[in-house]
Chains A and B, each alone.
Chain A
Amino acid sequence: MWSLGNITHSIDGWLNQTFSPALALLIEFVIVGTMAISLFAVLGLVLVFMERKVSAYMQIRVGPNRVGPKGMFQTFADTIKLLLKEGLTPTGSDKFLFNLAPVIAIISAMLLLAPIAFAKDFQMWDLNIGVLYVSAISSVAVISILMAGWSSNNKYSLLGAMRSGAQIVSYELSAGLSILAIVVLVGSLKMSDIVASQETGWWLFKGHIPALIAFVTFIIAATAETNRAPFDLAEAESELTAGFHTEYSGMRFALFFLAEYVNIFIVCAIGATLFLGGWMPFHIGQWTAFNHVMDFIPSSLWFFGKTFFLIFLIMWFRWTFPRLRIDQLLNLEWKYLLPISMFNLLLATAIAIMGWHF
Chain B
Amino acid sequence: MSAIKYIKDIFGAVKSLLVGMKHTGYYFTHHKEIITQNYPEEKQQLAERFRGEVVMTHDSNNEHKCTGCTACELACPNGTIKIVTKFEQTPEGKKKKAIDKFVYHLELCTMCNLCVVACPTDAIKMDQAFEHSVFDRSQLTKVLNKPGSKIMEGVE
Contact = CB atoms under 8 A, between A and B. Distances in A.
Q: Do A and B belong to a common assembly?
A: yes
Contact of B28 (A58, A62, A65, A340): A58
A16 interface: no
23 contacts: A57-B27, A57-B31, A58-B24, A58-B28, A59-B27, A60-B27, A60-B34, A60-B35, A60-B36, A61-B34, A61-B35, A61-B36, A62-B34, A62-B36, A62-B38, A65-B38, A316-B21, A316-B24, A316-B28, A320-B17, A320-B20, A320-B21, A336-B9
Q: Is the interface of B mostly helix, strand, loop or mixed?
A: helix
Interface of A: 54, 57-62, 65, 316-317, 319-321, 336, 340
Interface of B: 9-10, 17, 20-21, 23-25, 27-28, 31, 33-36, 38
A172 B33 CA distance: 41
Given A57-B28, A57-B31, A320 B36 contact: no
A248 B76 CA distance: 44
B33 A60 contact: yes
Most buried by A among B10, B23, B25, B36: B36
Given A61-B34, A61-B36, A319 B10 contact: no
Contacts of A57: 27-28, 31
Contacts of A319: 24
B38 A320 contact: no
A54 B28 contact: yes
Nearest to A340: B10
A340 B7 CA distance: 10
Closest A-B pairs by Cβ, 9 of them: A58-B24, A320-B24, A320-B20, A60-B35, A57-B28, A61-B36, A58-B28, A320-B21, A57-B31
Given A65-B38, A320-B20, 20 more contacts: A54-B28, A57-B27, A58-B24, A58-B27, A59-B27, A60-B27, A60-B33, A60-B35, A60-B36, A61-B35, A61-B36, A62-B34, A316-B21, A316-B24, A320-B17, A320-B23, A321-B17, A321-B20, A336-B10, A340-B10
